Each structure stands twice: as C-alpha cells, then as structure tokens.
Amino acid sequence: MLAWHIGFRYLRRRRAAWLALAAITLTVAAPVAVIGVTQGFLDVLARQARASESDVTIQQPWGGEGLADTPAGRAQLRAVDGVAAVAPFVQCYALMTPRIEGLDNSPTLPCQIDGIEWSADAALGRLEPAILHPQPIENLSAPPEAPQRRGTGFLTPQWRAQLCLLGAAVGAPLGIMPAPLPPLLRPTPGVVAGRELLYGSGISVGQVIDLVGAAQVHQQVEITDTIGTGILEVDKLTVLVPLPLGQALAGFTGSPTSHPRVDGFRFRAAPGVELKSLAERLDLSSGQRAQTWRERRLTMVKSLEYQRNVMGLVMLAIQTIAVFVVYAVFSTMVAEKRHDIGVLLGIGARPGSIAGAFLLAGVVACVGGGLLGWGIGWGFLAAAQIASHSYGILLFPQDVFYSPDTPVSWDPRIPLVFIGAMAVIGLGAVAIPAIRAARIQPVAILREVS
Amino acid sequence: MRLIVTDLHRAYPGLEVLSGVSLSINAGEVVAIRGASGTGKSTLLHCLGLLEQPDRGTISLDGEELTTLRPGKRAQRRATAIGFVFQAFNLLPEFNVLENVLMTARTAGLPLATSRNRAQQLLESVGLSERAQSRIQTLSGGERQRVALCRALLPRPALLLADEPTGNLDPATAAVVLHQLLDLAKSNGSSVVIVTHDTAIADQAGRRLELRAGLLHEESTSA
C-alpha cells in the first residue's frame, strides 16, 4: 500500500515527527495519571461508602415513630425478588461520657448510635474484617489494639471469658472440667466505636463509657473494638451497639402489646440484581422510601464525579495544545517533502494516496504516542502507589484526603478514552496538511527543478 | 500503441505556448522534439504526460481520449501507460535505489513480488544491480538517471517521455545513458518522446520535430 509505505517512511525519518510523538505521549500520559488518581479517589469513596452502607436501605423519616420489626415483616422483605439478605437497624443521637479514673468531670461527646444485629449485618457485607480494628488515620502514633485486648464484635473480653466459663460449667458435670468454678460475673455490654471518635477523644478500647440516648436512657457500655469505614463523618460519630440496646436508647423497645421498632432495614442485593430496580420493588413492597447506597451518598459521589469530569475536560484542552504541535510538525513535513510529493504525483500516485500517507502517519503517531503515554501514565501511578504504600512518601496529605495510600484506578477505559480523543483530534490536525499535500500541482514542482 | 494528438492549444496569461499542435506516434517509434528555450517543449511533454490539461485539443492513446479523463483516471493512466524521465532525475532521497525503482510499481498497483524481479532485471541491464540497496545520495548523476530510467520503464509503459534526459550529464555519460534509454525502450516496445536541445541526441531518434511558434515542424532525419 503506497500510502502506508510513504507515510511510515516519512514518519521514521523526520526528526520533527519525534517531537510530535513526544507531545502526544506527554498529553496522554498526564491525563492518564491525573484522571487515574481522580477516579481512584472516586473508587475509594465508593468502597468506603459501601463499608457503611448496604446495597439498598429503607429508612423512616428522621424522628418518626419507627417501623415494626416482626419476623413476618422481615420474611416479607426477604421474599422481595432480588433480596439476598436483610438486617434491621436503629439510629439515634446519643451523648457518651468516658469514665476516666481520677477525673470527676469527664468530657461528654455527641455520637450517633447505630443499633444492629451483628450476624445479620455481617450477612450484608457491611462489617468486613478490613474495616474492623483499623489503624487510626488522624493519630498515627496510636497503634491498633492488640487482639487479646479487643473484644469479638459486641463481646467484650470479659464476656468472652464468661462464655468460656459457661462452657466449662456445662462441661464440669460431665467430668470434662474440674469443679468448683469461679463465680459468674456480669460484664457490661460491648460496643464498637468509630476509630476517629475514639482515638481523637483519647478513649481506648476496653474503656467503659456512659451512653445517654434520645429516650433519656442511661447505659454503661464497654468499648470492644474500633471500626474505620474511611468516611470521616462516619468514623468520627458512629457507635455500633447491639440492636436491643439501640432500641432502648432510641425509645423503640416493645411492650407487651407491641413489637419493638426499628428505624429501617438494610438489604443486600442478590448477585447481578440492578440496585435501582430492587429499590423500586422494595419501595412498593414496604410502602417506605427505599434508596440505593449511591442515592444516599449522592452529594459526595456527585461532587467527585464533577471534579473528575471537569479535570477530564481540562486534560482534553491540554491535548488540543499538543494537536497544534502535531499540526505544525506535519505542515513542516509537507513543506519539506513538497518536491517528493510533486514527483510522486507526477509518476502516477493518486492524490488520495498522498493524503492517506500523511493521515496514516498521523494515526501511527497518535496511537503509538498514546500507547507510550498510557505506559508512562500507569508507570507514574504504580510508582506513586509503591512510594506511598511501601515507603510512606505521601502524594496527598492524609489528614485532608483521609487515605494513607495514593488512590489509583487501573480502569483501562481511562487511557483508551484519551488515546481515542488524541487520535480523533490529531487526525483532524493532520488532515489539513494532508489535504494540502494532495493538492500539490506536480507540474509546478517539476518546472521548479527542471 | 498509437498516440494521436490533435489541435492541442495551451496558453498562459498573455502567452500562447501551443497553438494547435498535432502529432501522431506509432508503437515503438522514437521522436525527438527540439526547440529554443521557452518555445513550449516542456509544456507539450507535460500535456502528453497528462500532467497539464490543454486548453483545447485532444490526446488519444490507443483510441482512448485522455484529456477528458477525471483526475483519478489520469493519475492511473500516468502510472500504468506513461513513463517519465526528468532532467533533474527526481528520485526520492528517503528511499534506496530498489525502492525508488519499485515506486512506479506501487503507484500502478502492480504485484510487488514480480515487480521486484523486474526491477532487479532492469537494474542489472543498466549495471546497477550491485547498488540496489544504496541510498540515492551515494550515486553519481549518470547512475541516478539510470535509476530514473528503470523506474520509468518498470510498469512497461506504452509511452516514455524524456525531458532533457542527459541535460545534467557529461557527454560520455550522456551517450551511455541515452543508449541504454533507447535500448530498454526498444526491448520494452515503448514509444519514446525526447525533448532536447542537443542535436546529437535528436539525431538518435527516428523522427525529429521542432517546436516553433507554438507549432510542430517536421525535420529531415539522418538516422
């Protein structure tokens, strides 16, 4: 193919072509790296949101009377098409006061109670091991608690010991354990607190605190563990408590004539189920407003999406600057090769082949430079990740971005979009000199040299 | 092959160069066109080579009217039926000797494998087979013109147009190149039109014409 033969040769032999290639490479590498990080933040945000949100949530309006939590009601919700798991929850504000030895007036802190059933919530995928007992972010000098000092979910170490003793008590009559056993204690209930709430207030795991809920119910609890979703507002406020305790604090306990109430239910969707349609079905089934996790975190997700999109537009604008370089290089190339083009047209090359040669050279430069830019962009992201993860060199201040690692997205669509954009814009820029080359009059050239 | 030119006119602003040129060339015939500078020899050659469109008149090759062809078809005829040898060689410096020769095969859309063999044969016939991979810049003027000749003859054109083919060569080299040009054209069966100032070259042609005042005049030949 004549166009390919000529175009590739001109591209290879022209020094200026390397300049165009470099411009293309850099203006693909930069967006790949920048949008890779921006999308990485979005991905981290989504992951963090999913740590505290279920797929779909039904929640009564704030301050309402609550929804009845009955076995039949739960079964009805679980029967909705696409529901894999369901878990009730109670949410209310409370005040917590740590009991600090030697201090009569301990500070009182506001917190948000999230009353849950541990096993049901775990079935939702919310309480993944990765978010339990995490390293605190705001106070790196405070190490996570050692496993023996932590509880197990809502079980305090004392309760855990009690259970062992209970097992031993059962085993003693059977002759498995020696008797007599020590007397049973009555340890306090355990709760799991947000890591920043805890470490930021100087409270530690194992400490006993007083909780006063919206229903003016006082309850003494022991902190068994910390939780870190990655979302500061959650980690600075949330205290996970057993559902009955949450109901007591919120004033949602049942009576002999009524069932205990809850604020709402969280749902896990079956694999492959579209969340929006599941929310609509739950809406119809329950008569309550159902929202997907994305709808509940819409402001946060949308703001980052807008940032990413604006950044993408800025990057596209930068690519158009590279296009000027491409245009200049190819215009120069056509001017330099004017004689050869005239000769080629003179010996029978078709104008289309001449234009095609330059267009092909442009495509090769744009796609080749783009692929190179992809490699450089991802190389930079990999280096940034290694630097932050392995060597603690932070690209972004973690107290601002609340993430110790450089968030990175390896989504190949990002580089492909920018390579595609570069190819389209670059082709547009090359088209002008290519058409100019095809319109060269061979007679004029041959007369010039004869 | 029979080339028939009838009443060809070509004018530039304020100057009529061709004023009704008529010409008929038979297959294998060698025609030399002489004339003083500025009489329109190159213009006539460019019109015959479909590089320039005449204002009036017709050019037909084997009965096919060429002046009315669309640009794409004209380029195709140029690539397949007409060969050019220029005074300034007009080789492409980006490509080596063999690639330059093969360029007309590419423009004519000929299969490259068979064209490569023919290119090698042509280069051998002009004594340049050893230089097939050489860069153009390393060749002498005579060698360059022989490469240009091979390039022109590769697609076996019916008509070979040569514009002062030895104008840039010393007399000894010019004689060799002209001899090879006529030999190869003969073996190829191509008709040849040579535009030249040189009477000695014109004498090699079977027919001599002189372009004067926009018209062709037959000269007596000694060949």
The answer as to whether A159 is a domain residue is: no
What is the reported pLDDT for A412?
95
Q: Is A343 on the interface with B (CB under 8 A)?
A: yes
For chain A, the domain total comes to: 2
Instruction: Name, in order, each residue with C-beta under 8 angstroms of A170's C-beta and a sequence gap of 6 or more.
Output: none
Confidence of residue A141 (pLDDT cuts 50, 70, 90): very low
Q: What is the mean pLDDT of chain A?
A: 84
Residues in B closer than 8 angstroms to A443, CB to CB, are 46, 51-52
The answer as to whether A165 is a domain residue is: no
The answer to whether B95 contacts A9, with C-beta atoms less than 8 Å apart, is yes
Distance CA A340, CA B89 (A): 11
A382-395: per-residue pLDDT in tens? 998 888 777 777 77
Same-domain pairing of A366 and A319: yes
Sign of CA dihedral A323, A325, A328, A330: negative
Q: What is the mean pLDDT of chain B?
A: 89
Flag whether pLDDT at B222 surpasses 60: no
Q: Suggest the residue from B69, B106, B164 to mutate for an interface test with chain A (most A CBs closer than 10 A).
A: B106
What is the reported pLDDT for A392?
72
Confidence of residue A298 (pLDDT cuts 50, 70, 90): confident
B134-182: per-residue pLDDT in tens? 999 999 988 999 999 899 999 999 999 999 888 877 888 888 888 888 8
Nearest to B107 among A2, A13, A450 (CB): A2
Distance CA B142, CA B128 (A): 11
Residue in chain B lying closest to A9 (CA): B94
Same-domain pairing of A67 and A128: yes
Confidence of residue A178 (pLDDT cuts 50, 70, 90): low
Same-domain pairing of A20 and A62: no
Distance CA A326, CA A352 (A): 21
For chain B, the domain total comes to: 1
Flag whether pLDDT at B5 surpasses 90: yes
A393-405: per-residue pLDDT in tens? 777 766 666 666 6
User: Which residue segment(s) compose the domain that B123 sits in?
Assistant: 3-219
Q: Minimal CA–CA distance to A395: which of A24, A1, A34, A4?
A: A34
Which of A255, A278, A296 marks a domain boundary?
Answer: A296
Q: Minimal CA–CA distance to A215: which of A286, A315, A113?
A: A113
Distances, alpha carbon B41 to alpha carbons B18, B37, B60, B202, B222, in Å: 9, 8, 19, 14, 22
Instruction: Name, in order, each residue with C-beta under 8 angstroms of B113's C-beta and a sequence gap of 6 or more.
Output: none
Q: Is A3 on the interface with B (CB under 8 A)?
A: no
The answer to whether A350 contacts B75, with C-beta atoms less than 8 Å apart, is yes
Flag whether pLDDT at A104 surpasses 70: no
Average pLDDT, stretch B31-57? Answer: 91
Residues in A closer than 8 angstroms to B90, CB to CB, are 339, 343, 346, 446, 449
The answer to whether A5 contacts B106, with C-beta atoms less than 8 Å apart, is yes
Average pLDDT, stretch A275-289? Answer: 91
A32-75: per-residue pLDDT in tens? 999 999 999 888 888 777 777 889 999 887 667 888 888 899 99
Confidence of residue A17 (pLDDT cuts 50, 70, 90): confident
Residues in B closer than 8 angstroms to A9, CB to CB, are 94-95
Same-domain pairing of A255 and A318: no
B87-108: per-residue pLDDT in tens? 888 999 989 999 999 999 999 9
The answer as to whether A180 is a domain residue is: no
pTM across the whole model:
0.71
User: Which residue segment(s) compose the domain that A33 sits in?
Assistant: 2-47+300-449
The lowest-confidence range among A181-185, A326-330, B211-215 is A181-185
Same-domain pairing of A241 and A373: no
Residue in chain A lying closest to B49 (CA): A346
Task: Give yes or no for a cis peptide into A180 (omega within 30° of 0).
Answer: yes
CATH number at residue B184: 3.40.50.300
Flag whether pLDDT at A139 surpasses 60: no
